[in-house]
Amino acid sequence: MIIILKPEATQAEIDHLTQKIKEHGLTPHLSAGQERRLIGVIGDERAIQNMPLSIFPGVESVLPVLAPYKLVSREFKRENSVIPLGDGVTIGGKQVPVMAGPCAVETQAQVLGIAKAVRSAGARLLRGGAFKPRTSPYAFQGLGEEGLQYLAEAKKITGLPVITEVVDPRDIELVAQYADVLQIGARNMQNFRLLTEVGKYHKPVLLKRGLSATIKEFLLSAEYIMSGGNHRVILCERGIRTFETMTRNTLDLAAVPLIKGLSHLPVVVDPSHATGRWDLVAPMALAAVAAGADGLLIEVHGNPEEALSDGEESLKPAKFAAMMTELRKVATAVGREI
């Protein structure tokens, strides 16, 4: 950490500051430039990174040197984390698993029909929501445990491992009985209690980036899960909120190679929520694989007009299958496989 002093900082102010630094077991090192004096802090700056040093008298600004996260970083682990998701599927290696299914689980027939369709088109996991976070209290909130049972049933028949969302610490036990991968939604990326709780399980967790989360905050939320003991974390870019309103969100695809440089964790892209429009899902899925994504999360519905949630962005099974054909070509072009 480097502390830049105001031009008018007094010796007493500097003494006060260096004293505080020493109290935390670190070593201050004063040096003078032409226009400013600086204090370099030697030692593990994480010991003082929550101190409000910027308001100490005589301080102009404070520049952290180290990233605030540790376990998620490439420095902590050089090679890519490859995470088994069940049924022989892994994520983080050469394979780019596609996780497909309806936004919300609606009926047993619906889930099973879609599961069979996406499996035959090449999907590796079945997605579907039983607990739905919805902006309006008057929108469909999900089937709850009944929905989980339908997913389990579909898994038994198709063999596809299941990924589904958990929204409440009180539900994790239940959801974990049915799911192969726990999903934390964008609106819960900073629901720290939920992060802490899933950190106690051994299930893989897919963590979605919050609507206005910086990449640093996103990685810190993953750090919550890993610091609890669960290292099977998958990061998911699903669009951020910007001023543009023609798409539901703005897909920040550069986050994929950027995060893969900073972290060893796999990075998945959800083009369905990122765009909110079914006609943009396929081009963004192709782009995601070209950019190096480790997996995709795609909404598929047999009859989007009747979907109880997110019909606007759901692909019909035939469109999904066509997209998978294109995806395979792009994956091959960049040395991956679907």
Q: Map the footprint of a second copy across residues 112-141, applying CB under 8 A.
A: 133-141
Nearer to a second copy, 30 or 109 (CB): 30
Q: Does 191 bind a second copy (CB under 8 A)?
A: yes
Q: Which residues within the stretch 298-337 sit at the binding site for a second copy (CB under 8 A)?
A: 304-305, 307-312, 326, 329-330, 332-334
- Edge-to-edge strands, sheet with 37-42: 27-32, 37-42, 2-5, 59-63
CB 100 within 8 A of CB 302: no
**Interface with a second copy (CB under 8 A), residue from 115, 125, 167, 268:** 167
Smallest distance from a second copy to CB 219, Å: 10
Q: Which residues within the stretch 274-293 sit at the binding site for a second copy (CB under 8 A)?
A: 274-275, 277-280, 283-284, 286-292
Smallest distance from a second copy to CB 160, Å: 25
Cβ neighbours of residue 181 closer than 8 Å, sequence gap 6 or more: 85, 86, 99, 125, 161, 162, 163, 164, 203, 204, 205, 206, 234
CA distance 92 to 183: 17
Cβ neighbours of residue 156 closer than 8 Å, sequence gap 6 or more: none
Smallest distance from a second copy to CB 220, Å: 5
Nearer to a second copy, 180 or 223 (CB): 223
**Interface with a second copy (CB under 8 A), residue from 11, 79, 202, 243:** 243
The span of 92-100, 119-127, 156-164, 248-256 binding a second copy (CB under 8 A) equals 248-256
Name the phi and psi angles at 274, rounded to 5. Answer: -60, -35
Q: Does 65 bind a second copy (CB under 8 A)?
A: yes
CA distance 239 to 278: 15
In the structure encoding, which two tokens stand for residue 310, read together?
Answer: 């997110």
Q: Does 165 bind a second copy (CB under 8 A)?
A: no
Nearer to a second copy, 153 or 326 (CB): 326
Cβ neighbours of residue 257 closer than 8 Å, sequence gap 6 or more: 291, 292
Q: Mask: binding to a second copy, 194-233, rule CB under 8 A, as x and -?
A: -xx--------------xx-xxxx--x--xx--xx-----
Smallest distance from a second copy to CB 292, Å: 5
CA distance 296 to 247: 19
Q: Does 96 bind a second copy (CB under 8 A)?
A: no
R_g (Cα) of the chain, nearest Å:
23
Nearest to 1 by CA among 84, 59, 85, 87: 59
Q: Does 258 bind a second copy (CB under 8 A)?
A: yes
Q: What is the DSSP string of 215-227?
A: HHHHHHHHHHHHH
Q: Does 23 bind a second copy (CB under 8 A)?
A: no
